[in-house]
Structure 1
Amino acid sequence: MARPRRLNSLTGMEGFGRQRMEFFILGPVEARRAGVAADLGGAKQKTLLAALILAGGWVISDDRLSTLLWGEAPPTTSSAQIYTYVSRLRKQFGDEVGIVRRPPGYMIRLGDSWLDFQQFELLTAQYREELRTGRYPEAARHAREALAFWRGPALAGTTEFLTDAELPRLEEERMAALEGRIEADLAMRQAARIVPELTRLVAEYPLRERLRVKLMIALYQVGRQADAVGVFHHGRLILKEELGVDPGAALCETYQAVLEGHPSLDPRPAPLIAVPPPPPATEVPAMLPPDIPDFVGRAEHLAEVCGPRPPDSADRPPVFLISGMAGIGKSALAVRAARSLMGDFPDGQLYADLGGNGSERVAPEDALLGFLRALGLPDHAIPADRNERIRLYRSKIANRRFLILLDNAVDERQVRPLLPGGNDCQTLITSRRTLAALDGVHLAEIEVLDTGESLEMLGAIIGRARLDAEPDHAVRIAEQCGGLPLAIRIVGARLIAKRHWSLSRIVDQLSEADSLDGFVLGDLDVRSRVEYSYRELPERERAAYSELAAAGLSAFRVQAAAKTLGVTVGLAEKIVESLADASLLSMDSVYQGREPVYRFHDLFMMFAKEQLA
């Protein structure tokens, strides 16, 4: 058996960092670092890890994980036990591997870790292309290397519920690789060598017709025509007895060819069984998220972003930054603007959520990987080095017209590598911060919706008739939401879920709660969105934020903040500006004068007071 090559998971080149985590699922489930096995615990913990790996970066819900761990009768403490398994695995892997909580479940980010199944898939794609183009020696070698990653039955050491769900798929991929290697061997006149192996495989998998076809061809090529006919008849009998079916077309056609001595059975410089070509690379990437149907207002900002380029933008790409507090609708505005501009950028639209809304921060090199894949590059053609990726990305989009949307950016360092190098593209960025250090950025700061826009949005969600039936309470809901689109969307979604509720009932609930508990539904949660900005602050600013809220300073100047906090005016200004930079305070445009006035949003003030509890 060929010794498996370790391929870099990003470049396809040989070699890998000795200190990387290595994960193994094509055999006993294991994890190692520098050859030392990690303590993965028992079958349940290994099952959780393997299930997350097989999800390929997608979220697996708690319900699905419970089924894979305990079947149809999970314990009442299943959620707590899953959390415990996740915590133990996190301790084993450190910061290199992230197991992330994403409602309604968990996902895993392997980063630069090595995974045997990923190496198998890379080599599988390689040998299939070589088969298709008639490069049989290379195809046989790469298929053998792919199969060498298997160390026994896949997912060994996990629950029967996971193996029942996932092992058939993995086993099918292994068998397909085995059949591909045999096909290449037959094309290279190796029939005599592989007849014993094929005889054993057909006995082991008697219902697998593709193996039987290859055994018939191999026997024919070594002059055993009668034996080839016997293999067909034996297979037909088994299929009839076991499944009650007749042989498939491929088996029947091969039988007829053997009887006729057809030259198509002879070794020849073309694949014996047609391998479909890989799907063509997407020529025009279209990565934008769907538009928001209940989007309202923002006409001035749309005109600013979608209007003609400013006169001073001739020598650089236009970069528009949409900034504002959590839940203000930055992403919705950016998507609406991007979709309005699609016709001006025929080469495609690229999109990346950079994680600045409370999800995991995305490294620029990971975002570049997604962009380069969308541009049609296979993984083995994408360099691992960050700077090389930047150069390749900018080369690929040079002299072409792309629209690039960088959503939920954290800071300037994250954004700069993703900016195009020419002046033919347009970049839209959303961030809670103003990212003032970016060169030549055009800033659009958005504010809360007014009462009319709030009512228009609420009506678009719950229906205008329901809104008009209780106009006074509708206005009260708009006031309680403070014009924050996220809050309006949550309240509207709650009313949709409870169609028998009156508007007055939810008004009373929000009034009685006097907290943010009424502004959460599923993964829509005002508190968690604000908390992300809050937790990013230094301890001094966090304490000051709560103190200002506790003092009832809904709108204030720096001097009032200094008095409340018991610090100098200079230090108070530094603290308050830091809060404003994080979009936890807004600049009040109502008050005029030399000194700026800072304002709490009502829901943000609720959050700040909660932190004192």
Structure 2
Amino acid sequence: MDFRVLGPVEAHRGGLRIPLSGSKVHTVLAALLLARGRVVSDSRLNFLLWGWEPPATSGAQIYTYMSRLRKLLGEEVRIERRPPGYLLQAPDSTVDLLEFERLDRLGRAALARGHHQEAGALLAEALGHWRGSALANVTEHLAEAELPQLEEARMHALESRIEADLALGRHEQLTAELTGLVARFPLREKLRAQLMTAFYRSGRQSDALQSYYEGRALLADQLGIDPGEALGSTYAAVLEGTRGPGPGGATRLVPEQDAGGGAPDTLPPDVDGFVGRDAEARTLRAQLAESAAGRGPRQVLVTGMAGVGKTALAVHVAHAAAGDFPDGRLFAELSGADGRPRRPREVLAGILRDLGEHLGEAGGAAPASGAAADRREREELVRLCRARTAGRRLLVVLDGAAEGRLLDPLLAGLPDAVVLITGRARLTQVTGARTTALAPLGDAAAFDLLAATAGRARLLAEPDAADDLIGYCGGLPLALRITGSRLTARPFWPVARLAQRMAVPQNRLRELSFGGLDMAAALLPSLYALPAPARAVLARLAGIGAEPFPAHRAAGRLGTTEATAEQWLEQLVDGALLDLCGVDLRGRPLYRFHELVLLFAATQPAPPRDQPRSAAAR
């Protein structure tokens, strides 16, 4: 028997839900389960069912509810009358709350030992037992008595999991999640401090400071207090670029050498167990060495669809190239957590701060008073960047370029630096840049990457299931890392169990979300970058299949001409949501969707039949 209280109260036998009707029956079952093997008194049951005014027949009604539960739950569950109340005994059953608490304890212990990857996996699995608001179908009396402590336990586990992820260098993936959490829980100071840390490590100092100012104002207005130690110390650390507070020690906000005045290094940590891109890594490493020696273009570009591993490759190569750039290595995100491009002056201001430039309070992030003022401010930041980087052997990684025109002021400010750029599409504005286009991994490399996370012996013990998982991930490193993390967090699962869950196409993207990594979320910026009519095209083509197809086949689905369909398909190619994979016998281009893109497209709302219009009609 499987009991669940971390969501609607439910009982399952053999994977099938047992039908329980009415909030009173659910309340009685929840009260017995929450007692954890102790007797629940009649007076306690009276209060949880009816509050301070139970009916005269309350004893008889409770007896009826108990009898109904005994009949529904069967012999493997014993509900006994133990004066002054009732006791539930189910030694061979599981309760999601007890499993959550066990995993939470193990995760916190691993975190205290500094085993961050183990802690993150355990805490993520613990949080996976939650299916929404706990006790969702019980009386208000039980919810008011038990829900606050359950929600607090959930929040503590969530904060601990985020702490582990921050220690693993996952600040970029955390910014969107933390932004949403702080919006929902604006007075939780630890969450706000974690958001500030994630912003700062992502080169977004102005956003970190803005979050602090908003939190300070809320605490003053609503509670009449100042920020506590965690939030105040994190604020000081952001300002000083030194260390910030953390449980059991200090949380590093910037690299060690920066605090001591050495060459700046704001690269994220290298990916653990980096595998699968040896040839591309060697090529990029050689290109950076040539650029550093003045024998090649100053810009190097890495392109590919979402989840293909552009950032991981760029960071790995940048770490390997440390010896070629003794004056420092900087990292700047060009897109925000919502996938929208950041303003060039905001990026320039962040680079200048990393180089030790003391800017004004706005630092280029606040809106200017007009277009002319905005242009002047940007030009001044470009001038400062040129002055601070002149003659220095410096590597700058610009991650997530979405629009080539937004790169112009950045590259103008970094003429002497070597710039490694990642983006979903080829950027024609980066004149002369050598481009490495990443394709999904082959099966052998995908196996190596999955084995690096989940364990080679475990995969070799179930080769067919391992092959299925690799196929479902479609060669995307992000999907493979999520899959491997799921297996690591469930050491007693057969590999075939996860393969069976991912075999259902409608479930696959849901399974590819774990521990702060989410395949569908990674594809969202590519979707948002498209004009609305092109998004409609993507939704219409969700059922076209993963085999190569010509434009005239798409035209039939879209109800338009072949020429118009080809215009829309080219927009999807430019947006890295569709591949050109060859030509047919008549020399016409063939297109192919990645299967995960098709599953993602199927989740998008279908447009009206008279959409989209042709590109010429827009």
Decide: shared fold, TM above 0.5.
yes
Equivalences for residues 462-541 of structure 1 within 5 A? 462-512=454-504, 514-515=506-507, 516-541=509-534
Say whether the 8 Å CA contact 1:281–1:375 is kept in structure 2: no
% of aligned pairs identical? 35
Distance (Å, rounded) in 1 between the aligned partners of 2:205 and 2:452: 41
1:412 Cα offset (Å) = 1.5
Distance (Å, rounded) in 2 between the aligned partners of 1:569 and 1:116: 50
Distance (Å, rounded) in 1 between the aligned partners of 2:381 and 2:295: 24
Residue in structure 1 matched with residue 71 of structure 2 by the alignment:
none
Counterpart secondary structure, 1:514: helix
More moved, 362-371 vs 445-454: 362-371
Residue in structure 1 matched with residue 108 of structure 2 by the alignment:
none
1:591 Cα offset (Å) = 7.0
Distance (Å, rounded) in 1 between the aligned partners of 2:211 and 2:502: 52
Aligned match of 1:158 in 218, 222, 235?
222
Say whether the 8 Å CA contact 1:326–1:529 is kept in structure 2: yes
- Structure 1 residues 143-187: Cα deviation after superposition (integer angstroms, max 9, x where no partner): xxxxxxx9xx99543327x648359969x99xxxxxxxxxxxxxx
1:569 Cα offset (Å) = 2.1
Residue in structure 2 matched with residue 454 of structure 1 by the alignment:
446
Say whether the 8 Å CA contact 1:288–1:351 is kept in structure 2: yes
Residue in structure 2 matched with residue 269 of structure 1 by the alignment:
none
More moved, 331-340 vs 436-445: 436-445
Equivalences for residues 38-49 of structure 1 within 5 A? none
Residues 395 and 566 (structure 1 numbering): CA distance in 2 closer, same or farther, change over 3 Å? same
TM-score, L = length of structure 2: 0.55
Residue in structure 1 matched with residue 168 of structure 2 by the alignment:
none
Residue in structure 2 matched with residue 287 of structure 1 by the alignment:
266
- Structure 1 residues 533-558: Cα deviation after superposition (integer angstroms, max 9, x where no partner): 11332222112112222233632122
Aligned match of 1:584 in 569, 577, 592?
577
1:368 Cα offset (Å) = 1.6
More moved, 407-416 vs 462-471: 407-416
More moved, 397-406 vs 533-542: 533-542
Distance (Å, rounded) in 2 between the aligned partners of 1:530 and 1:536: 10
Say whether the 8 Å CA contact 1:408–1:431 is kept in structure 2: yes
1:420 Cα offset (Å) = 5.7
Residues 114 and 552 (structure 1 numbering): CA distance in 2 closer, same or farther, change over 3 Å? closer
AA aligned to 1:324 is G
Residue in structure 2 matched with residue 369 of structure 1 by the alignment:
349
Distance (Å, rounded) in 2 between the aligned partners of 1:403 and 1:330: 17
Counterpart secondary structure, 2:272: coil
More moved, 421-430 vs 558-567: 421-430
AA aligned to 2:301 is L
1:363 Cα offset (Å) = 1.8
Distance (Å, rounded) in 1 between the aligned partners of 2:503 and 2:284: 38
Aligned match of 1:105 in 144, 162, 181?
181
AA aligned to 1:439 is T
1:395 Cα offset (Å) = 1.1
How many pairs does the alignment contain?
387
Distance (Å, rounded) in 1 between the aligned partners of 2:461 and 2:230: 56
Distance (Å, rounded) in 1 between the aligned partners of 2:211 and 2:594: 51
Distance (Å, rounded) in 1 between the aligned partners of 2:481 and 2:399: 19
| Structure 2 residues without counterparts, runs of 5 or longer | 1-126, 128-145, 154-174, 183-194, 197-203, 237-257, 365-376, 607-618
- Structure 1 residues 306-333: Cα deviation after superposition (integer angstroms, max 9, x where no partner): 225779x969852111111110100011
AA aligned to 1:479 is G
Residues 167 and 156 (structure 1 numbering): CA distance in 2 closer, same or farther, change over 3 Å? farther
1:406 Cα offset (Å) = 0.4
Counterpart secondary structure, 2:396: strand
Residues 169 and 291 (structure 1 numbering): CA distance in 2 closer, same or farther, change over 3 Å? closer
Q: Are 2:310 and 1:318 equivalent residues in the alignment?
A: no
Equivalences for residues 154-233 of structure 1 within 5 A? 156-159=220-223, 163=226, 165=228
AA aligned to 2:223 is T
Aligned match of 2:553 in 543, 550, 560?
560
Counterpart secondary structure, 2:599: helix
| Structure 1 residues without counterparts, runs of 5 or longer | 1-62, 64-71, 80-98, 119-149, 174-278
Distance (Å, rounded) in 2 between the aligned partners of 1:413 and 1:356: 17
Say whether the 8 Å CA contact 1:154–1:167 is kept in structure 2: no
Equivalences for residues 200-279 of structure 1 within 5 A? none
Q: Are 2:315 and 1:335 equivalent residues in the alignment?
A: yes
1:407 Cα offset (Å) = 0.7
Distance (Å, rounded) in 1 between the aligned partners of 2:541 and 2:448: 33
1:393 Cα offset (Å) = 0.7
Say whether the 8 Å CA contact 1:324–1:445 is kept in structure 2: yes
1:600 Cα offset (Å) = 0.7
Residues 110 and 381 (structure 1 numbering): CA distance in 2 closer, same or farther, change over 3 Å? closer
TM-score, L = length of structure 1: 0.56
- Structure 1 residues 183-209: Cα deviation after superposition (integer angstroms, max 9, x where no partner): xxxxxxxxxxxxxxxxxxxxxxxxxxx
- Structure 1 residues 204-252: Cα deviation after superposition (integer angstroms, max 9, x where no partner): xxxxxxxxxxxxxxxxxxxxxxxxxxxxxxxxxxxxxxxxxxxxxxxxx
Distance (Å, rounded) in 2 between the aligned partners of 1:468 and 1:476: 13
AA aligned to 2:353 is R
Distance (Å, rounded) in 2 between the aligned partners of 1:602 and 1:335: 27
Residues 409 and 514 (structure 1 numbering): CA distance in 2 closer, same or farther, change over 3 Å? same
Max Rg structure: 1
Q: Are 2:417 and 1:425 equivalent residues in the alignment?
A: yes
- Structure 1 residues 436-471: Cα deviation after superposition (integer angstroms, max 9, x where no partner): 122222221100011111110011001111111111
AA aligned to 1:165 is G
Say whether the 8 Å CA contact 1:358–1:529 is kept in structure 2: no
1:367 Cα offset (Å) = 1.6
AA aligned to 1:305 is L
Counterpart secondary structure, 1:307: helix
Residues 286 and 519 (structure 1 numbering): CA distance in 2 closer, same or farther, change over 3 Å? same
Residues 78 and 470 (structure 1 numbering): CA distance in 2 closer, same or farther, change over 3 Å? closer
Residue in structure 2 matched with residue 401 of structure 1 by the alignment:
393
Distance (Å, rounded) in 1 between the aligned partners of 2:582 and 2:231: 63
Residue in structure 2 matched with residue 302 of structure 1 by the alignment:
281
Distance (Å, rounded) in 1 between the aligned partners of 2:269 and 2:210: 33
Distance (Å, rounded) in 1 between the aligned partners of 2:285 and 2:211: 47
- Structure 1 residues 413-448: Cα deviation after superposition (integer angstroms, max 9, x where no partner): 322222266764311111112111222222211000
Distance (Å, rounded) in 2 between the aligned partners of 1:164 and 1:341: 41
Distance (Å, rounded) in 2 between the aligned partners of 1:392 and 1:609: 47
Residues 287 and 582 (structure 1 numbering): CA distance in 2 closer, same or farther, change over 3 Å? same
Residues 595 and 169 (structure 1 numbering): CA distance in 2 closer, same or farther, change over 3 Å? closer
1:474 Cα offset (Å) = 0.7
Counterpart secondary structure, 1:493: helix
1:472 Cα offset (Å) = 1.4
Residue in structure 1 matched with residue 324 of structure 2 by the alignment:
344
1:103 Cα offset (Å) = 6.4
Say whether the 8 Å CA contact 1:397–1:420 is kept in structure 2: no
Distance (Å, rounded) in 2 between the aligned partners of 1:587 and 1:100: 32
Residue in structure 2 matched with residue 190 of structure 1 by the alignment:
none
- Structure 1 residues 253-286: Cα deviation after superposition (integer angstroms, max 9, x where no partner): xxxxxxxxxxxxxxxxxxxxxxxxxx97733001
